[in-house]
Amino acid sequence: MKRLRSPTLLSYILIGFILVALPLVAAIFTAIARVDRLAHESHDTVMAVQQNTVASRGLVERATSMERSARQYQALNDPSFKNLYDEHRDGARSLLDRLGAQAGNPRMSAAVARASRSERQVTALLDASLDTIGAEELEARLDALRKDTIAVVREQNAISRSMASVMSDKAKSLKRALLMQAILVIPVSASLMGVLFLVIAPPLRRIGQGIRALGRGALGEPIQIKGARDLEELGQRLEWLRSRLVELEAQKSQFLRNVSHELKTPLTNIREGAELLLEDSEHSTPNDLAVVARIVHSNSIRLQRMIEALLRYGAEGDLNAGQPDEPVRLDQLVMALIERHSLDAAARSVRIEHHLEITPMAGNAKRLQIIVENLLSNAVKYTPPGGLIEVRLRQGADVFELEVRDTGPGVAEEDRGRVFEWFYAGPRPPGSIVAGSGMGLAIAREYAEQHDGSIELLPTAEGAHFRLTLRKKT
């Protein structure tokens, strides 16, 4: 069965953005719809209140006109006033019908019914003969009509206030709903972002770990990346690179072993021949042959040391390649090396002062030992009798720093840029007839870089001052 191809990193990011945006977009459209609905309801309510307010005011005016026309008709017995009354009455009835239909309130309906009844009673009284109309009875009917009309207006005002209160409550309710919606949308979006992070971050972290492992020379662990398709392809390329580096490392080690083996045999013969010549010259008068024999002997020793250093370097590379970091107490490691060199230093009347902070770290103990060994052995070798070597180890916020300082002749200005070059050997130490191999500091610098660190030669007025910086690993 053919394996489905996983999406690319860009696809994951686009899908993640869409998923994160969906709750926000839904919340926005929901809020727009609810606010729009509230706006329509508010508009309808305002229009209804306005119309009913106008109707109630018109009703008061009509009722006042009806009352005035009725009194004038009774006093003057002029039919035109009766016609005017009937006109105002028709308008009042229309307004009462409108208010009664739009009220939707039992109290308003009752008030409209009482006002309508009072209007009919006044109309019935005016429709009778003027001779039968009593002034007191008409006044009582008109007073009842006035009170009932005012009651309708009062109820209408109460309804308007109630509708305004309802709209205010709806607005507050909508505000709370939108706030709750926002509170719910934020964690949902954050959760989706967290899921996206959990999908994307682990393969990226593994790629970073693989690259750092390659930089440290840890080539034994295969690099396997699972996730987005393009990240998997990048992991495959890194695995190819790791395999290629393993092959090259094996070829390098094989080359060093072969070359060293081929060189050691003739070199041993040269050294033995030089020693025989030196033994013969000790029993006879010194001559030019003795000088030549001494030169051959000293250089054969130097060449042998270089070969042995190459073999150790190749062996260390094979032995530690691919091994993971282990807990190391750097202060204890440095103290053990100081004690190892203390006898040699005491024999030369050289004092070693140290100040070591407790520095637990993760690294390759064997390679760290080689770094510190080279720095200390050089300091002891170049410090003259009665001199001083200072060793300081401290822990910073994100680095460890080891400083080794001596009171020897120091490094010439023209040689400062070359002390870390392969096979570069400076002047011989005082009292030594054999120069160094020129590999110690080069190896130390490479091992420091494999620990994401560095070694630098600091400027100083006297002697040499080296600083090893190692970054803390998280």
| Residues counted in the chain | 474
The CATH number that applies at residue 242 is: 1.10.287.130
Q: At what angle do helices 106-127 and 9-76 cross, to 10 degrees?
A: 20
Of the residues 193, 226, 252, the one at which a domain ends? 193
Instruction: Decide if 210 is inside a domain.
Output: no
- My answer on whether 53 and 156 are in the same domain is yes
Residue 200 lies in a domain: no
Token pair of 242 as six digits: 């790791």
Cβ partners under 8 Å of residue 44, min gap 6? none
Asked whether residue 162 falls in the same domain as residue 16, the answer is yes
Asked if 96 and 116 count as a contact pair (C-beta separation under 8 A), the reply is yes
Provide the token pair at 134: 């009593």
Residue 322 is given by DSSP the state: T
In the block, residue with structure tokens 């009194």: 71
* Domain CATH number, residue 133: 1.20.120
Say if 284 falls within a structural domain.
yes
Token output for 83:
């016609």
Q: Which residues pair with 363 in a beta bridge?
A: 326
Asked if residue 473 and residue 351 are part of one domain, the reply reads yes
User: For residue 434, what is the domain's CATH number?
Assistant: 3.30.565.10
CA 351 from chain center: how many Å?
Answer: 50
Phi, psi values for residue 354, rounded to 5°: -140, 150
- 391: helix, strand or coil: strand
Partners of 453 in the beta sheet? 470
pLDDT recorded at residue 433: 44
Domain count, the chain: 3
Domain annotation covers residue 201: no
Residue 183, amino acid: I
pLDDT in tens, 360-396: 888 888 888 888 888 888 888 888 888 898 999 998 8
Structure tokens at 473: 């690993």
**Structural domain contains residue 331:** yes
Q: CA quadruple 188, 193, 198, 199: dihedral positive or negative?
A: positive
Prediction pTM value: 0.43
Summarised one tens digit per residue, pLDDT across range 176-216 is 877 787 777 777 777 777 777 777 777 777 777 777 777 76
Q: Which helix (H) or strand (E) holds 355?
A: strand 351-356
Question: 353 and 299 in one domain?
Answer: no
Give the pLDDT score at 180: 80
209 within a domain of the structure (yes/no): no
Q: What is the DSSP letter of 384?
A: P
Cα(405)–Cα(420) distance, integer angstroms: 17
DSSP state of 356: E
Tokens read off for 222:
């295969």
Domain co-membership, 358 together with 474: yes
Indicate the residue among 323, 354, 382 that finishes a domain: 323
Same domain, 346 and 291: no
On whether the CB atoms of residues 256 and 358 are closer than 8 A, the answer is: no
Assess whether 315 and 332 both reside in one domain: no
**Under a CB-based contact definition with an 8 Å cutoff, are residues 408 and 370 in contact?**
no
Residue 401: which domain range?
325-474
Residue 221 in domain: yes
Q: Exposed (0-12), middle (13-18) or buried (19+): which is 393, by Cβ within 10 Å?
A: buried
Maximum distance among all alpha carbons in the chain? 180
One domain, residues 154 and 26: yes
- Do residues 464 and 357 share a domain? yes
C-alpha distance from residue 119 to each of 64, 90, 110, 138, 154 (Å): 12, 10, 14, 12, 18
**CA atoms of 66 and 71, how far apart (whole Å):** 9
pLDDT in tens, the chain (474 residues): 445 556 666 666 777 677 767 777 777 777 787 777 877 777 777 777 777 777 778 878 888 888 788 778 777 777 888 788 888 888 888 877 777 776 567 777 787 788 888 888 878 777 776 666 667 777 788 788 788 888 878 877 877 777 777 777 777 887 787 778 777 777 777 777 777 777 777 777 777 777 777 776 666 777 777 777 777 777 778 778 878 877 777 776 666 666 665 666 666 666 666 666 666 665 655 555 666 666 666 556 656 656 665 665 555 554 444 455 688 898 999 999 888 888 888 888 888 888 988 888 888 888 888 888 888 888 888 888 888 989 999 988 888 899 999 988 888 777 777 777 776 666 656 555 444 556 778 888 888 888 888 888 888 888 888 999 888 776
Structure tokens at 161: 């206030």
Q: Write down which residue in 296, 323, 350 finishes a domain.
A: 323
- Residues 449-474 as b or e (16 or more Cβ within 10 Å = b): ebbbbebebeeeeebbbbbbbbeeee
On whether both 369 and 473 belong to a single domain, the answer is yes
Whether 411 and 429 have beta carbons less than 8 Å apart is answered as no
Question: Is 332 in the same domain as 358?
Answer: yes
Under 8 Å between Cβ of 436 and 450: no
CB 403 within 8 A of CB 441: no
242 lies in the same domain as 184: no
- Establish if 207 belongs to a structural domain: no
- Six-digit token string for 49: 């209140």
